[in-house]
């Protein structure tokens, strides 16, 4: 009943949907150059042979799928990756392996969905995490295309909401022939909502390659720092940049450099103004401002450069874990051997965060004051700083086997595609 209502509203509401998309485009939230892709019109030709379609909502979901993309390409299969955000498209232009194709996912309206599926004709669909578009899932299922949920996630809040419309979520989840959950908790909630063949094999975020880095840029940053003590606040959200500024002041170290990488790089100027309001000397990377001996705060408001700053050797505080709940990915700095710190609000990583803590691969700080104390202690004891980074790296490298397990679970779906590819 609810699905029929949704289908009807998205069909009859075409003019309203079009107006909404135009407003998003005017605000830079849609890609004007590639906007037809959001309407189901392809931006390129379909590759020949069997095609695996992989969908991730945004940056995090898409990046977690990259190791699997490489595996599929290595099997001789073609890969189409779809995402919905401008930021993810820009990042995938740099990170997507050669041979894979990126497109924007069509808006969930029947006409757009059918145009998309008519052109791409995928042989297998792999959906990441928890973005369920009813029309896209239903139309894919009606065409007999096998669907698998990868990195399945179902938070307690989403679970409570979906329980109010059990028929609706059951209809969507039942379209997945296999559901691979991130955690056992996610698996239990997916089963309760109607997921079929739900398993927990681990988190593909453990299988990602180390974040890339431009060695020339790294040498340049290190030269400008000239041995100064530094710490990094990574993937920060509103409130955490001001907090980092207060921590910098509380540490009272004349030569200290605090590096801040906002989660959304477009906030760079806003963050700079906020910190200058605290009386701090700020340099903004996007504006080409250099790090000088007088620079207290360096705001790295550029895309795709976290790997560079994780390699600078200082303690790394992972954002969205003190002032806003959820947490950002602590695996990436750990894999690069950084000493990892995060706050108590790591709800998005219910298994990863406790695993890191139990392996002494991360340190948890309860508040701003404890963050300042921990950073001070690590900067004062270089041996402890190196040991914390080494423990993080050892833990991260020990978790990398999840990709083989996921690959094995997908084997029954991939074997027919490989057989088709092998035919003359």
Q: Would you state the pLDDT for residue 423? A: 53
Query: Taking Cα atoms as reference points, which of 81, 73, 82, 83 lies closest to residue 49?
Result: 73
Is the pLDDT assigned to residue 163 strictly greater than 50?
yes
- Asked if residues 16 and 10 have their Cβ atoms less than 8 Å apart, the reply is no
Query: Taking Cα atoms as reference points, which of 159, 139, 175 lies closest to residue 7?
Result: 139
- Answer CATH for 215-398 from 1.10.1040.10, 3.40.50.1000, 3.40.50.2000, 3.60.60.10: 3.40.50.2000
Share of the chain above pLDDT 70, in %: 99
Is the pLDDT assigned to residue 1 strictly greater than 80?
no
Answer yes or no: 61 catalytic.
yes
Q: Is 195 helix (H, G, I), strand (E, B) or coil?
A: coil
- CATH 3.40.50.11720, domain 20-209+401-422, yes or no: yes
How far is 15 from 416, CA to CA, in rounded Å?
42
Q: 155-183 burial, b for 16+ CB within 10 Å, e for fewer?
A: beeebeebeeeeebbebbbebbebbbbbb
Q: Would you state the pLDDT for residue 110? A: 95
> pTM higher than 0.85, yes or no?
no
Work out the pLDDT band at 421, boundaries 50, 70, 90. Answer: low
Q: Would you state the pLDDT for residue 203? A: 86
How far is 30 from 42, CA to CA, in rounded Å?
16
**Arithmetic mean of pLDDT, 138-150:** 97
Is the pLDDT assigned to residue 422 strictly greater than 70?
no
pLDDT in tens, 254-283: 999 999 999 999 999 999 999 999 999 999
User: φ, ψ for residue 143 (rounded to 5)?
Assistant: -90, 5
List every span in the chain annotated with CATH 3.40.50.2000. 215-398
Is the pLDDT assigned to residue 393 strictly greater than 90?
yes
- Asked if residues 349 and 327 have their Cβ atoms less than 8 Å apart, the reply is yes
**Among the options 22, 30, 37, 61, which is catalytic?**
61
Is the pLDDT assigned to residue 50 strictly greater than 80?
yes
Q: Would you state the pLDDT for residue 295? A: 97
List every span in the chain annotated with CATH 3.40.50.11720. 20-209+401-422
């Amino acid at each position: 009943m609810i699905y029929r209502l949704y289908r009807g509203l998205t069909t009859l509401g075409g003019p309203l949907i079009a107006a909404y998309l135009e407003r998003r485009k005017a605000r830079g939230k849609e890609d004007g150059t590639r906007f037809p892709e959001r309407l189901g019109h392809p931006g390129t030709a379909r590759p020949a042979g069997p095609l695996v379609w992989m969908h991730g909502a945004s940056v995090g979901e898409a990046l977690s799928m990259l190791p699997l993309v490489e595996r599929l390409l290595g099997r001789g299969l073609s890969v189409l990756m779809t995402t919905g955000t401008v930021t993810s498209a820009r990042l995938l232009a740099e990170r997507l392996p050669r041979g894979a194709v990126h497109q924007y996912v069509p808006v969930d309206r029947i006409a757009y969905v059918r145009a998309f599926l008519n052109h791409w004709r995928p042989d297998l669909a792999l959906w990441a995490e928890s973005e369920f578009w009813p029309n896209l899932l239903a139309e894919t299922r009606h065409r007999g295309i096998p669907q698998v949920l990868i990195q399945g996630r179902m938070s307690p809040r989403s679970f409570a909401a979906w329980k109010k419309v059990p028929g609706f979520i059951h209809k969507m989840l039942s379209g997945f022939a296999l559901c691979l959950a991130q955690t056992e908790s996610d698996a239990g909630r997916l089963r309760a909502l109607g997921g079929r063949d739900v398993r927990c094999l681990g988190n593909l975020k453990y299988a990602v390659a180390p974040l890339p880095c431009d060695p020339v840029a790294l040498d340049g940053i290190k030269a400008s720092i000239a041995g100064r003590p530094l710490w990094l606040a990574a993937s920060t959200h509103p409130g955490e940049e001001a907090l980092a500024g207060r921590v910098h002041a509380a540490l009272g170290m004349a030569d200290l450099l605090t590096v801040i990488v906002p989660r959304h790089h477009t906030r760079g100027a806003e963050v700079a103004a906020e910190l200058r309001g605290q009386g701090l000397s700020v340099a903004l990377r996007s504006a080409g401002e250099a790090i000088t001996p007088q620079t207290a705060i360096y705001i790295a408001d550029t895309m795709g450069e976290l790997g560079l700053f994780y390699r600078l050797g200082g303690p790394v505080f992972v954002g969205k874990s003190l002032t806003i709940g959820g947490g950002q990915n602590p695996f990436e700095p750990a894999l690069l051997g950084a000493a990892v710190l995060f706050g108590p609000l790591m709800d998005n990583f219910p298994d990863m965060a406790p695993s890191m803590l139990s392996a002494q691969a991360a340190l948890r700080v309860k508040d701003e004051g404890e963050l300042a104390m921990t950073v001070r202690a690590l900067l004062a004891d270089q041996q402890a700083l190196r040991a914390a980074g080494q423990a993080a790296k050892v833990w991260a490298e020990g978790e990398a086997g999840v990709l083989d397990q996921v690959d094995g679970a997908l084997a029954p779906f991939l074997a027919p595609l490989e057989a088709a590819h092998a035919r003359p």
